[in-house]
């Protein structure tokens, strides 16, 4: 009898157990949202509370709870899944809820040896009819840092009105560096205006196209997560942000801007291609699965290699008779918003421009040719060869070889690159990673209409 009483008591306690809310409090004032997460969740995975502040034309007070909390939610949802715990959220957009179900399946496929048993339960799903007529062929929003990837995407869609969205708070744009941010912001505004002027002048573009816009976010999205702890949760994910956050986090941060400024599509420039067969959250299998409030996300130019984009930028500048843009490539130089000319990204990008007989100095990579070659050969030492470096230089090798066969000019000092073996097996960083099965991954997409499949062999 005593056992039955105890069991009945435990059943009653379980039925009325306290539900753990992912969010303890939300404070919204005009264009800023501050969110305090669940205390134990914060203690284990985060470094503090979250905030996001937008420009004055973004009034967060007009949105409901589900939109106000998206900037935070999308930066931590992968933590919820890996935590093994169940958390509750008061409201979520219905489309987003089903999108995240699909993304969770993507993570389970990309990282099969990792447990994704954590769950986010939503008390109320909210339908958000799109408050404006979608015209994606006429306007598009894009994340814009001023690097090679985002610049290539911007030029590829120069026939549309574009909204350039940039965030202040990334690890190469820390919140305490206000002068650095102001310098970067001016360059981004100048480039957006330059593209607007091309729209007005060029015969092949829309003469009546309205001027482009810019919008900025100030947030601690990159600082409030405990990256060191998160990057040790599973051996399958070495860098937590690249592995699980990228597109998800950006979508959450930009949602209030897209809805306010009436842009139906957010484009996220690719950083990888079909030739990079390893797991990453910077992928169309994450981005293209995201829908919310009648809006959608597109992972752009996944079929173009970095060398392809360099050639595209140079060619487009000539065709449109525009000055070469400053490209923010380096993530090490944080004082002057310049490119250091010494890191892997600077050196490989400079070589990429030189391989097509373009002067990298015109694009903001200020380094002498003799120094460039010496530093590059040091970069290509066997112990420093990661997979991404090998992949990029294989593309440069191919470009050099094709140009020589076509009788096009190639700087003499670059021909030494043809003698280097860029076998993928030499990469030091792929031993613990498993290659993705593209057919398996493609089955996880809602559609294939916006994703060229040529490089996947389909």
DSSP string over 388-422: HHHHHHHHHHHHHHHHHHTT----GGGGGGGGS--
pLDDT digits (tens, 9 = 90+) for 18-58: 689 999 999 999 999 999 999 999 999 999 999 999 999 99
Is the per-residue pLDDT at 5 higher than 50? Answer: no
pLDDT band at 337 (very low <50, low <70, confident <90, very high): confident
* Predicted TM-score of the model (pTM): 0.91
Share of the chain above pLDDT 90, in %: 76
Instruction: For the chain, list the domains and their CATH numbers.
Output: 16-126 (no CATH), 139-304 (3.40.50.620), 331-426 (no CATH)
Q: For residue 110, which of 251, 247, 223 has the smallest C-alpha distance?
A: 247
Total residue length of the chain? 458
Between 132 and 397, the more confident residue is 397
Residue 165 Cα distances to 55, 189, 222, angstroms: 11, 10, 16
SS (H, E, C) 285-325: HHHCCCEECCEEEEEECCCCCHHHHHHHHHHHHHHCCCCCC
| Residue 178 pLDDT greater than 80, yes or no | yes
H helices of 47-93, in order, are 65-68, 70-83
Do strands 50-54 and 213-219 pair parallel, antiparallel, or not at all (unpaired)? antiparallel
Strand order in the sheet with 295-300: 23-29, 32-37, 50-54, 213-219, 161-168, 139-143, 265-269, 295-300, 291-292
Answer whether residue 312 shows pLDDT above 90: yes
* Confidence band for 196, pLDDT divided at 50, 70 and 90: confident
Burial of 321 (0-12, 13-18, 19+ CB in 10 A): exposed
pLDDT higher than threshold 60 for residue 277: yes
Which of 58, 62, 67, 65 shows the shortest CA–CA distance to 32?
Answer: 58
Residue-level pLDDT at 207: 46
Q: Is the pLDDT of residue 201 over 70?
A: no
pLDDT (tens digit, 9 = 90+) per residue, 300-309?
A: 999 999 999 9
CB 299 within 8 A of CB 284: yes
Among 57-61, 155-159, 195-199, 389-393, name the one with the lowest average pLDDT: 195-199
pLDDT beyond 80 at 9:
no
pLDDT at residue 278 is higher than 90? yes
Calculate Rg over the CA atoms of the chain.
Answer: 24
Q: In this model, does residue 229 exceed pLDDT 90?
A: yes
Give the model confidence (pLDDT) of 104-150 as tens digits. Answer: 999 999 999 999 999 999 999 999 988 777 776 789 999 999 999 99
Best CA proximity match to 315, nearest among 399, 206, 416: 399
CA distance 150 to 270: 8
3-state helix, strand, coil in the chain (%, to 5): 45, 15, 40
For 27, 146, 348, the CA distances from 354, given in Å and listed in that order, are 51, 20, 10
Spatial CA neighbour of 356 closest among 408, 304, 417, 301 = 408
Contact 284, 445 (CB under 8 A): yes
pLDDT at 14: 43
What is d(CA 424, CA 300) in angstroms, rounded to the nearest whole number?
Answer: 25
Tokens encoding 149? 């990837």
Alpha helices for 84-175 (secondary structure H): 94-110, 148-156
Above 80 in pLDDT, residue 200?
no
Q: Is the pLDDT of residue 8 over 50?
A: no
- How does residue 197 score in pLDDT terms, banded at 50, 70 and 90? confident
Q: Which residues contact 119 (CB under 8 A, 6 or more apart)?
A: 80, 81, 85, 86, 87
Please tell me the number of Cα atoms within 13 Å of 118 on its side-chain side. Answer: 20
- pLDDT recorded at residue 458: 43
Q: How confident is the model at residue 423 (pLDDT cuts 50, 70, 90)?
A: confident
């Amino acid at each position: 009898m005593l056992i039955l009483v105890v069991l009945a008591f435990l059943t009653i306690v379980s039925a009325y157990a306290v539900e753990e809310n992912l969010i303890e409090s939300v404070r919204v004032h005009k264009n800023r949202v501050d969110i305090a997460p669940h205390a134990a969740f914060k203690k284990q995975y985060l470094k503090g509370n979250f905030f996001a502040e937008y420009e004055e034309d973004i009034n967060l007070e007009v949105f409901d709870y589900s939109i106000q909390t998206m900037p935070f939610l999308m930066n931590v949802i992968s933590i919820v899944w890996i935590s093994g715990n169940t958390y509750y959220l008061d409201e979520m957009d219905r489309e987003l809820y089903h999108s995240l179900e699909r993304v969770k399946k993507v993570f389970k496929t990309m990282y099969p040896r990792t447990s994704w048993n954590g769950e986010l339960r939503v008390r109320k799903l909210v339908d958000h009819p799109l408050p404006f007529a979608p015209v994606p062929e006429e306007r598009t929003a894009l994340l814009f840092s001023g690097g090679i990837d985002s610049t290539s995407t911007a030029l590829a869609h120069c026939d549309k009105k574009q909204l350039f969205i940039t965030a202040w708070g990334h690890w190469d744009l820390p919140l305490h560096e206000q002068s650095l941010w102001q310098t970067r912001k001016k360059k981004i505004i100048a480039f957006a205006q330059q593209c607007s002027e091309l729209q007005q002048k060029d015969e092949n573009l829309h003469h009546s196209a309205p001027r482009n816009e810019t919008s900025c976010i100030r947030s601690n999205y990159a600082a409030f997560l405990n990256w060191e702890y998160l990057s040790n949760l599973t051996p399958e994910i070495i860098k937590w942000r690249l592995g699980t956050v990228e597109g998800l986090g950006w979508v959450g941060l930009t949602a209030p801007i897209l809805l306010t400024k009436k842009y139906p599509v957010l484009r996220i420039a690719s950083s990888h291609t079909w030739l990079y067969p390893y797991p990453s959250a910077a992928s169309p299998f994450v981005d293209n699965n995201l829908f919310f409030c009648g809006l959608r996300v597109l992972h752009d130019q996944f079929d173009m290699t970095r060398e392809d984009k360099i050639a595209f930028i140079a060619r487009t500048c000539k065709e449109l008779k525009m000055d070469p843009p400053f490209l923010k490539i380096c993530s090490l130089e944080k004082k002057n918003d310049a490119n250091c000319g010494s890191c892997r990204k600077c050196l490989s990008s400079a070589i990429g421009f030189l391989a097509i007989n373009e002067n990298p100095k015109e694009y903001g990579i200020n380094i002498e040719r003799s120094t460039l070659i010496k530093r590059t050969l040091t970069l290509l030492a066997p112990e420093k060869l990661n997979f991404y470096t090998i992949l990029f230089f294989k593309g440069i090798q191919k470009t050099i070889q094709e140009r020589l066969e076509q009788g096009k000019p190639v700087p003499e000092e670059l021909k030494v690159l043809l003698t280097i073996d860029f076998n993928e097996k030499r990469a030091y960083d792929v031993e613990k990673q498993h290659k993705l099965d593209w057919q398996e991954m493609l089955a996880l997409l809602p559609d294939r209409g916006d994703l060229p499949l040529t490089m996947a062999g389909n």
